[in-house]
């Protein structure tokens, strides 16, 4: 019993903490993805007007460069074509607003992204993890007595851990040939008559308890067998 229960407890602990690690990793990955998406959105929204401003400036510089080359061509051309080229150059120059470029935002107005991370989360998690889970040498509740009844069995149990304050008890049973236990009683009493029991058939019982103000159930008691030889009236 000691070795079997120790092996089972190790398996339960390893599986539980493996599940916890997987769930925590999934939650952290989801949060990271959400924050990265926020960064992407802010980056795109913030950089769009700056890109448009840059395009306008580049277009203005390119236009001025083209106009400069055209002016040089007009001056260097044949005398007969100079007047026409200079006339065209003047018209274009009048229609191009070379002195009107978009205002470049100041550094104060340009977003500067940063991440705000609360270091106390690690401390909170650390404290919770170090307090998570306990190992008990024996369950706080054990089966105490079986009393034969016609077509049933009166099952009694008792609390064996003086430091444990029980709020509810949970009794399960199964035929010895069955693979799964099923609930037969949940409540505050420490005894219960299990009915519809076949006479001269072995049944296994186990009980656990829920501590005052707690949601989780305690470990199960050691399963014990009971039977009735009394047929129902």
pLDDT 10s digits, 191-201: 999 999 999 99
Backbone angles phi, psi at 193, to 5 degrees: -90, 115
Mean of the pLDDT values across residues 161-175? 93
**Tens of pLDDT, residues 26-57:** 999 999 999 999 999 998 888 887 787 788 77
Task: Report the range of poorest mean pLDDT among 81-85, 156-160, 166-170, 203-207.
Answer: 81-85
pLDDT at 117 over 60: yes
Task: Report the range of poorest mean pLDDT among 83-97, 165-179, 183-197.
Answer: 83-97
**94: pLDDT confidence band, cut at 50, 70 and 90?**
low
Backbone angles phi, psi at 187, to 5 degrees: 175, -170
Which of 162, 139, 166 has the alpha carbon at shortest distance from 222? 139
pLDDT at 95 over 70: no
- The CA angle 38-44-48, to the nearest 5 degrees, is 155
Per-residue pLDDT, 77 = 62
**87: pLDDT confidence band, cut at 50, 70 and 90?**
confident
* Share above pLDDT 90 across residues of the chain, in percent, rounded to a whole number: 50
Q: For residues 180 and 165, what is the distance between their CA atoms, to the nearest angstrom?
A: 28
Mean of the pLDDT values across residues 171-199? 95
Per-residue pLDDT, 61 = 79
**Secondary structure, 3-state, 59-116:** HHHHHHHHHHHHHHHHHHCCHHHHHHHHHHHHHHHHHCCCCCCCCCCCCCCCCCCCCC
**CB 104 within 8 Å of CB 120:** no
**58: pLDDT confidence band, cut at 50, 70 and 90?**
confident
The mean predicted confidence, pLDDT, of the chain is: 87
Per-residue pLDDT, 98 = 56
Q: For residues 142 and 144, what is the distance between their CA atoms, to the nearest angstrom?
A: 6
Helices (H), the chain: 2-76, 79-95, 120-131
**Tens of pLDDT, residues 130-167:** 988 888 788 999 999 999 999 999 999 999 988 889 99
């Amino acid at each position: 019993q000691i070795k079997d229960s120790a092996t089972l407890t190790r398996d339960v602990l390893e599986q539980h903490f493996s599940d916890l690690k997987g769930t925590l990793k999934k939650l952290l990955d989801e949060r990271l993805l959400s924050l990265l998406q926020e960064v992407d959105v802010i980056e795109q929204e913030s950089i769009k007007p700056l890109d448009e401003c840059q395009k306008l400036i580049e277009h203005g510089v390119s236009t001025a460069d083209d106009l400069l080359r055209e002016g040089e061509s007009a001056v260097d051309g044949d005398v007969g074509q100079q007047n026409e080229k200079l006339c065209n150059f003047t018209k274009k120059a009048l229609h191009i607003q070379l002195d009107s470029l978009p205002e470049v935002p100041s550094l104060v107005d340009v977003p500067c992204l940063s991440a705000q991370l609360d270091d106390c989360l690690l401390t909170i998690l650390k404290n919770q993890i170090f307090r998570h889970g306990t190992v008990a040498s024996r369950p706080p509740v054990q089966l105490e007595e079986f009393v034969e009844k016609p077509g049933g069995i009166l099952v009694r149990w008792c609390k064996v851990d003086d430091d444990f304050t029980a709020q509810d008890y949970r009794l399960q049973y199964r035929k010895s040939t069955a693979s799964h236990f099923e609930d037969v009683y949940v409540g505050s009493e420490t005894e219960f008559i299990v009915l519809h029991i076949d006479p001269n058939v072995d049944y296994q019982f186990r009980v656990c308890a829920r501590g005052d103000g707690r949601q989780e159930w305690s470990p199960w008691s050691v399963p014990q067998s009971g039977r009735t030889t009394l047929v129902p009236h």
